[in-house]
Chains A and B, each alone.
Chain A
Amino acid sequence: MKTENYIQLDFPSRSSNEAFARTAAAAFAAQLDPTLEELGDIKTAVSEAVTNCIVHAYPDHIGRIHMRLRILPEGELEIQIRDWGQGIADVEQAMQPLFTTGGEERSGMGFSIMTSFMDRIRVRSTPGKGTTVLLRRHIKPRPDRR
């Protein structure tokens, strides 16, 4: 599929980069002229995916997070968040609502929220090698945008 525009960012898995990553994603997505609600959904999904890398992929050290956003034809936004961390042994189980290995500080709702705020989600993971989360959201062109 033809890419109309893209950005790629690499940053260390420091929690102070969570706000940076979602704000950068929203700033890039702004060229699709999304509604405030769509922008909020994009920020939320990116925040969840990046937090997963920080908490689960690199639990005891700082590692590399790669974020790529692409604008595809007809207002399709694709977000890829990739890490080279410890990976997920059972992706299906990790995506169940309330499932977490993160203890009391985590709600186990991260993947559920990504799933409900995005049109499509694909998670590929290899234990010991890392995880790639691919999210898609269609931004509808509307004349009555705010």
Chain B
Amino acid sequence: MTISTSFKSGRLTVFLAGELDHHEARETLRSLEGLLDEYLPRDCALDLSGLSFMDSSGIALIVRLSRRVSEMGGRLWIENPARQPSRVLDASGIDRLVPVAITKL
């Protein structure tokens, strides 16, 4: 998993690239929580355009991250999920909890 970030006017965007499964999830969550502690963002966007694979382990990670961001008084949303992660997000119904936004075509 490759994680990169951009931070602008209180908004942290985290780009995940690679495959997010149970094997990768724990380490990825730890890194993401570390980034929240470091930047203390108002809002956080999780850009999944570079994520080539995600299973339900990714759903659990997003739910935990969303809870963490809202405890900090902010909002989390998902941006530009690639095709396969997008199908998993749809099947899980997670958009009722975490909005999914398409910002680039």
Q: How far is the CB of A146 from chain B (nearest CB, A)?
A: 12
Q: A37-B87, A41-B87, A55-B22 are in contact. Are A109 and B56 (CB under 8 A)?
A: yes
| Measured CA separation A110–B58 after assembly (Å) | 11
User: For window 34-60 of chain B, which residues contact chain A by CB distance below 8 Å?
Assistant: 53, 55-57, 59-60
Q: What are the residues of chain A within 8 A of B92 when measuring CB–CB?
A: 107, 109, 112-113
Pick from A43, A107, A117: contact of B59, CB below 8 A.
A107
> Are A15 and B23 in contact, with the CB atoms below 8 A?
yes
A contacts with B: majority SS: helix
Nearest to B55 among chain A residues (CB) is A47
Q: Is the CB of B84 within 8 A of A106?
A: no
Report Cα–Cα, A15/B25, bound state, in Å.
11
State how many angstroms separate the Cβ of B11 from the closest Cβ of chain A: 26
The answer to whether A43 touches B53, judged by C-beta atoms less than 8 angstroms apart, is: yes
Q: A106-B60, A113-B56 are in contact. Are A15 and B22 (CB under 8 A)?
A: yes
Q: Which of B46-105 contact A (CB under 8 A)?
A: 53, 55-57, 59-60, 63-64, 83-84, 87-88, 91-92
B88 and A44 contact, CB distance less than 8 A: yes
Q: Which of A16, A18, A37, A117 contacts B91 (CB 8 A)?
A: A117
| A54 lies within 8 A of chain B by Cβ | yes
Asked whether, in the complex, the Cβ of B21 is within 8 Å of the Cβ of A19, the reply is yes
**What 20 additional pairs, Cβ within 8 angstroms, besides A40-B87, A106-B56, A107-B60?**
A15-B21, A15-B23, A18-B21, A18-B22, A19-B21, A36-B83, A43-B84, A44-B84, A47-B22, A51-B21, A51-B57, A54-B22, A104-B60, A104-B64, A105-B25, A105-B60, A106-B60, A107-B63, A112-B91, A112-B92
Give chain A's interface residues, CB within 8 Å of chain B.
15-16, 18-19, 22, 36-37, 40-41, 43-44, 47-48, 51, 54-55, 104-110, 112-113, 116-117
A-B contact pairs, 21 of them (CB 8 A): A15-B23, A18-B22, A19-B19, A19-B23, A40-B53, A44-B55, A44-B84, A44-B87, A51-B21, A51-B22, A55-B22, A105-B57, A105-B60, A106-B57, A106-B60, A107-B59, A109-B56, A110-B55, A113-B92, A116-B91, A117-B87
Top 9 nearest A-B pairs (CB, nearest first) are A40-B84, A15-B23, A107-B60, A107-B59, A109-B56, A47-B55, A51-B22, A116-B91, A107-B56
